[in-house]
Amino acid sequence: MEILWPAFALFALTAAVVLRLAGLRWRAVRARLVDPRFYKIYRGDGEPEEVAVVSRHLINLYEAPTLFYGGTAIAFAAGAAGMLLVALGWAYVGLRYLHSFIHLGSNDVLWRFRVFALSWLVLVAYWAVVALELARRPAGGMAG
């Protein structure tokens, strides 16, 4: 069960960004900084930079983290959720939180890239451990 908690924490981060973006978009439309018709097909004058950054960040949270969720589901279903995998899961999620803090804060591109690249290395290690755990299992069944 411990393997699932990092996934819940990453979901919480994504939900927080969704709420932040919704609030920013609402305020931008009310202040007439964005024509509400922009959101029909996302064409036109666009959003203010502050809103666009959060929007792009949310898109980013729907990209690589889906691979984390998939690996977590496979590991959980296979009963391959040892302490190393749990530690890697928390490391990945911690790096995603740090990436969010940078992207939605100072937005220092160099630091953001470094943290993003490190999170990818952790994600690759995560999947490697999942694969090794599955390879060690007898053929014919997931759990066991």
Q: Where are the domains of the chain?
A: 4-135
Q: By percentage, how much of the chain surpasses pLDDT 90?
A: 79
Structure tokens at 89: 């899961």
Mean pLDDT of 31-42: 84
Q: What is the pLDDT of residue 101?
A: 97
pLDDT over 90 at 37, yes or no: no
3 vs 61, 90, 132, CA distance in Å? 19, 9, 16
pTM higher than the cut 0.85:
yes
pLDDT of residue 143: 53
Query: Is residue 46 very low, low, confident or very high in pLDDT (cuts 50, 70, 90)?
Result: confident
Question: Roughly what angle, to the nearest 10 degrees, separates helices 109-135 and 83-103?
Answer: 160
Residue 142 — very low, low, confident or very high, per pLDDT cuts 50/70/90?
low
Reported in sequence order, the residue ranges of the chain that DSSP labels E, i.e. its strands, are none
Q: How far is CA 105 from CA 58, 99, 115, 116, 139, in A?
A: 14, 10, 14, 15, 48
Fold of the domain built from segment(s) 4-135: Four Helix Bundle (Hemerythrin (Met), subunit A) (1.20.120)
Under 8 Å CB-to-CB from 35, ≥6 apart: which residues?
44, 45
pLDDT at residue number 99: 98
Distance CA 55, CA 58 (A): 5
Please indicate whether residue 43 or residue 102 has the higher confidence score (pLDDT). 102
**Separation between Cα atoms, residue 141 and residue 122, nearest integer Å:** 27
Band (125; pLDDT cuts 50, 70, 90):
very high
State both tokens at 141.
């069944």
pLDDT higher than threshold 70 for residue 140: no
| pLDDT tops 60 at residue 11 | yes
